Structure 1
Amino acid sequence: MARFEDQDLSDAEFRESDLSRARFVGVVMQDAVIDGLVTNLVVNGVEVTSYVEAELDRRHPVRVLVRSSSPSDLRAAASQLQGAWAATVSRLRALPAGSEHERVGGEWSAVETMRHLVFVHDSWFRRCCLGSTSLFTALGLATDFVPDQVEQGLDPAAAPGLDEVVAVREVQAVELSDWLAGVTDAELASPAPVPEGPGWPPYARGRTVLQCLQVVLKEEWAHHGFCVRDLDLLGPEAGLR
């Protein structure tokens, strides 16, 4: 067990780190930012996760729709998320050239973020909800811990522009909307038809179609928030530094 005592961790960054069951005792934490999967977080004796989740739902009502098992709610969630992304793409097109490829604080650029969602659609929707055995879209972008990326169809040398990525995303959005238009409660509750053999995600087998679909929608919401956050930080000078 790692133990930090009388250490100055000011401006430290923990990325892709597991801090489960970590204890912060007698610490000074001012102007800190915590972004990730946070549950059962106790601050000065108060469990605060429920407050945070309630506030996020208030600010972003689409989260409630995403957690629903109702086909109509899920259709509404997908439509709202697609609309939010369309507005953000329009915002990107109005920024100085190159803004769509600019990174903020080491995070993915807007184009990289959308490329990741191409991969999420291919893996969690096409593979897990539809049972597709097709290779993933080459320009999709996976996180580093995803194994065998080339074998699954991803091109590590891909460097697509905004228009190319948006075109793929639009095709995927139509595919998802068309499927949601006819999906039933029974189909959502059924086991995910994940093909046998290797492929991402390896832990989807045993989940329901609904659970896999919700991964897609949650990723859409979360990464849209990341993208908007970074565009706000870039501000009017985006693409010029």
Structure 2
Amino acid sequence: MSTSVSTSPRVARVALVTGATGGIGEAVVERLVADGFAVAVHYAGNKAKAEALVEKIAASGGQVLAVGGDVADEQQMQAAFDAVETAFGGIDVVVNTAGIMLLAPIAELNLDDLDRMHRTNIRGTFVVSQQAARRVRRGGAIINVSTSVTRTQLPTYGAYVASKAAVESITLILARELRGRDITVNTVAPGPVATPLFLEGKDEETIGRFAKAAPLERLGEPRDIAESVAFLAGPARWVNGQVLYSNGGLA
């Protein structure tokens, strides 16, 4: 199922952003549109928000398409990639921001939550990366999203970090497997970012502690992560097979 709005028959570079109704995903969409991309806005469940974002971008003259689907379902993602190629003629950049975060100490984690994160964060990244590896054109980029907690190792993040460490491994190996294709594959690992996903369930004291942790003494904003993604999607052609920590200097 897709909804498309295109204001011009001329398409330059094309990007697909999964999880585009989330805080970081939406910021990435808006930044890539500003950089001249035609962008496919992917959603899993929030169709209304995706269509509102599409209308907003189209009203300002951008070329945009909304596509739905479960990132962990290979048939649905194949259909989403097909819709983007039909609308815009090909795909140059895939940004996979789709993910879920469920926190608890390892000793107390509900294993159903572990399975949910595994399905979205690991299988979903693998399915999207597989389609991207088959579809992205020469000179393109594949960008996944991890977390800086793979280094800071905070309590209660064990299962989430395990899933994101897998994302990093998939990324680094795919970069080597695409040798000779002129396609870069990288991961952005944000620090604490003021999104609903991060803020949910945290009191003001906890949020303030996270804000003070980085030398820049603030939480990241979705636009900060979008800048890093735009760098990897555009001028950063010599950055490949890397994890870029976008966290304000957090250790």
Compare CA radii of gyration and give the structure with the larger one. 1
TM-score when scaled to structure 2?
Answer: 0.24
Which structure ranks higher in relative contact order (CA pairs < 8 Å, sequence separation ≥ 6)?
Answer: 1
Kindly indicate which of the two structures has a greater share of residues assigned to strand.
2
TM-score by length of 1: 0.25
